[in-house]
Each structure stands twice: as structure tokens, then as C-alpha cells.
Amino acid sequence: MPIEIVCKIKFAEEDAKPKEKEAGDEQSLLGAARGAAAPRDLATFASKSTLHGLGRACGPGPHGLRRTLWALALFTSLTAFLYQAAGLARGYLTWPHLVAMDPAAPAPVAGFPAVTLCNINRFRHSALSDADIFHLANLTGLPPKDRDGHRAAGLRYPEPDMVDILNRTGHQLADMLKSCNFSGHHCSASNFSVVYTRYGKCYTFNADPQSSLPSRAGGMGSGLEIMLDIQQEEYLPIWRETNETSFEAGIRVQIHSQEEPPYIHQLGFGVSPGFQTFVSCQEQRLTYLPQPWGNCRAESGLREPELQGYSAYSVSACRLRCEKEAVLQRCHCRMVHMPGNETICPPNIYIECADHTLDSLGGGSEGPCFCPTPCNLTRYGKEISMVRIPNRGSARYLARKYNRNETYIRENFLVLDVFFEALTSEAMEQRAAYGLSALLGDLGGQMGLFIGASILTLLEILDYIYEARKGPVSWDRLKRVWRRPKTPLRTSSGGISTLGLQELKEQSPCLSRGRAEGGGASNLLPNHHHPHGPAGGLFEDFAC
């Protein structure tokens, strides 16, 4: 049988206050867990915000036509700003760049470039032995011979050494070089270094980057001036055409920096006999941009390993490395002009490996060999002019001096004059046309023009949103209200309330107060022991 306790409730004067106070007490109880005051409402925030027009559109005050027009103006300005900001962002993400050219001031001394020259004829006819002709048949087109000068298919010779053949049968600079002067000082073949290219044995002047020769003045007579005999009588006769057959006479020349190897079969220019060729150079220092503005090879902490056989990265070195890897993959050997310690290809497959493999290499970013341009590059612009030599008087003099006839002098002698136009250099630099600072400046200008905002205004909005998530409408508060224990069921008739026993145990302050004073469950009797208890509210003065 359930036990019911009839309690007589004595209402205090304070309980007659309006119900708004109870609602306020309920709200204060909900916010007691965090102990923070409710944040500002939108109208208060709008009236104090630095965002132009927000106070007039959303601030306190009656709604009317004026506020509607302000809201429309604010929305239009915000839309215009977002449109302009999107256009600026799209322009920035295209990563535009421009090229700036700055002429440098004249320098008292300029480093002279390396000059590589090759005779177009790869092998001297008189230096070829029968074994050489037999092994080089694919390269020269000459038929093999026996000792009696007749072709024999069953001839056998020892295995050839391609380096020895090129070194022994190539044109010797000591025989070709007739005169040499650099900046008014005499030079000789000892000032040239041997280098191997697709043209065989070649020679480079001023090749050592550690001891580069300086040029102290510009103009003719201040650079390298050499006279060469190309030795056309040593050119190979043409029996049949091959991919390496040359119909030209003269030399190939490349002017490059000491840090890059010669790539003369593609980057060189020709010099003809019977002419004096003037090459006016100007140093150009190029600076390219890495990703995302350009495609240059940026120097970073994760540097690409140095190319084997080269001290520095260059496009020419990269191309030679790609060619070597292709030849190794196809023929399991390398050509003489390629760096490395691998076995050199024998002459019988030399031309086959070179032609079929090198032609398959791609030169673009989609090909198998992509060699990005270094971000810092030095090259030499050239202006070439020439005059015919020798004149009638000098032809007779040169014929007597070198014990040749005048026809030989005209067909074999040439003069090459390489010099600086001036001791100045051109600096060509790629620069970002639209950087991050320009983007921020334009965005700030658009914000100020359309909505009168700044970075601090954005911080104000973020601060308001952060405070709003802690207010009475926040998700955390809603969850606490939802999970709050239900209020006890009360039935009243006049001034009498009837409570269940279990509800009284959970809700009655008398029970908790009795337990705090040391009593047990028997303290459910009317509270007559505290006649002077605190006066007041509904829960305080409860006649139990």
C-alpha cells in the first residue's frame, strides 16, 4: 500500500513574483555548468561591428523600408566583393611570370668561355690501317681490304679499341694549329684539352673551371684568335653513304661555360675554310623560376644526385646521361663520348646503337628523357660575321711560309676570332608577375571598397561565432536540457500538494538536510526541530 504524505505549502511573498523570474532562474541554472554570461545577440553585435552597413541592416530598431534597402546594399556589395575575390584568386593560381632584362655594369675583368672545336672529318685516311678499315666499315663506308688491296670476307683482326682508334686516327691539333693568340699572348696546342664528342677527337680551349682565363678588354684582338689547317687531303673518300657520312669541309665550334660538357653535334656552328670568322660574344646570365611558375630544376635540400662524370648539372650533361642509359639498355655498352666506366661499344655495332637508340629519345617533358633547365644558367649570345681569306698578297706569303701552294691555302686555311663585344653581361630573370603580397593587397582593396572590412573585421565575426556556440542556443546546452531529470509530478487542490514517496526521496530538500544533520530515513517526520530556520521560498519553508 503506497504511503502518501500530505504537506501544507506556505508560499512566501517572493513567490508571487512574475513567471519571468522563474524563466530567468531556469536559464541561469542551464548556464551554471559553464559559469559564463550569455553572448551578445546579433543586433548588438551588428551595431558595434566595423563591417560597414551591418549595423544599419541588422542593428536594433524597427524594420522598415530603410533597413531593407541597407540590407540589399550590403548583400550587393558582398556579392561584388566575392566575385572580384574569385577573379583575383583565379589569376593568382595561373602563376603568371614575366622576363626582366637588366644590363650589368661593365666589369674590369670577365671570365672567358670555353671554346670547343672539332674537325668535321672524324678519321684521317692516311692513319687508318687495314684492321681499322675493317672494323670501321659501318662508320666510314670503306670496303675492307686484304694485304693485296682486294676485298676479303674472311679477314680476321684482333678486337679493336675504339678509344685508341679515335685518338690515333683523329686530326691532331698540333698539325692543324698554325697560329694561336689569346689577348695578345701566344698560345699553343698545350693550351687545349682533348675531349671526345660525336665528331670523334675534339679540343677545348680554356676548359678548366678552376683556372679560367680572364678577358681584360672587349673587341677584336682581346680574345682567342687561331688559324687552322683542316687538312682536306686527309678526308675519307666516299664509297657509299652511311648515316655518318659528311659532305662538308671545315670545323664545328661551340662556345659554352666550363661547367657544361660540349654537345657540339646539336649546339655547335660551322666555320668554313677560306674565311676569317668573327664571333662576337656577350655573356648572358639567365634565372628561371621553379614550380609552379616555371619548370626549372630548383636547388633544394633534396638535390638530384650529381651526374656521373660531371661536377655540375647542365642540360647537355643530362642529355648525355640519357643517351648513355639508352645505349646501355640496348647494346650493353657505351660510346666513347659518354661518361662512365662501362665497356665501350665495338665499331661494328657503334653506329647501329647510336642511330636506333638516340633517335628514340624524346626532348620534351613527355619523352623518356626530360632534362629540366637549371634555374641559374650562363650562356653566350653570338653574332657571327666573316670575310674571305687569303687575299692575293697573303696567299703567296702563306704558301711560302707553310710550303703549300695557294690553292691549298684557299681550300684548307681558316681563321677563327672569338672575343667579347664588351665586358658587360646581360641578366635575364624570370619574375613572378603576381605574387602573394599583390594578391593580399588587391583583396584588401576590394574589401575596403565594397564592404569596408579588414582582417580585424573578420576576426570580429569569428569571435562572435565562437561566443555564439557557447550561448543558450548552443548544441551542448540543448543536450543538457534534453537530458535534465524530469520535474516531479504535482497535483494540487487549493494549498495541498500530494507527492509520492519515491519522488519525495529524490526531490525533497528536507531529506537531504536531515541526512546532512546525521539523521536516517526516519527523518521524514514534520520538521519541528528548527523553529528558527531560514524564512522564505517554496523549498526553504516546507512544512514537513
Give the residue extent of every domain in the chain: 42-94+440-469, 104-116+172-230+251-431
Q: Per-residue pLDDT tens for 124-182?
A: 999 988 888 888 877 777 776 655 554 555 567 778 888 999 999 999 999 999 999 99
Per the DSSP assignment, residues forming a β-bridge with 255 are 115
Rounded to whole angstroms, how far apart are CA atoms 240 and 238? 6
Task: Find where cell 694549329 sits.
Answer: 177
| Dist CA 219 CA 497 (whole Å) | 118
pLDDT digits (tens, 9 = 90+) for 37-66: 444 577 777 777 777 777 767 777 777 787
- What CATH code is assigned to 42-94+440-469? 1.10.287.770
In this prediction the pTM is: 0.65
Provide CB contacts within 8 A for 195, sequence distance 6+: 116, 202, 203, 204, 207, 261, 262, 337
The set of cell numbers assigned to 350 is 657503334
DSSP assignment letter at 210: G
Task: Give the full edge-to-edge strand order of the sheet including 491-493.
Answer: 491-493, 496-499, 5-9, 542-543
Q: pLDDT tens-digit profile of 263-276?
A: 998 999 999 999 99
Residues of the chain with pLDDT under 70: 1-40, 56, 97-98, 101, 103-108, 144-155, 240-245, 299-309, 351, 354-368, 469-544
Decide if 44 contacts 55 (C-beta within 8 A).
no
CATH class of the structural domain 104-116+172-230+251-431: mainly beta
Phi, psi of 430 (to 5 degrees): -80, 130
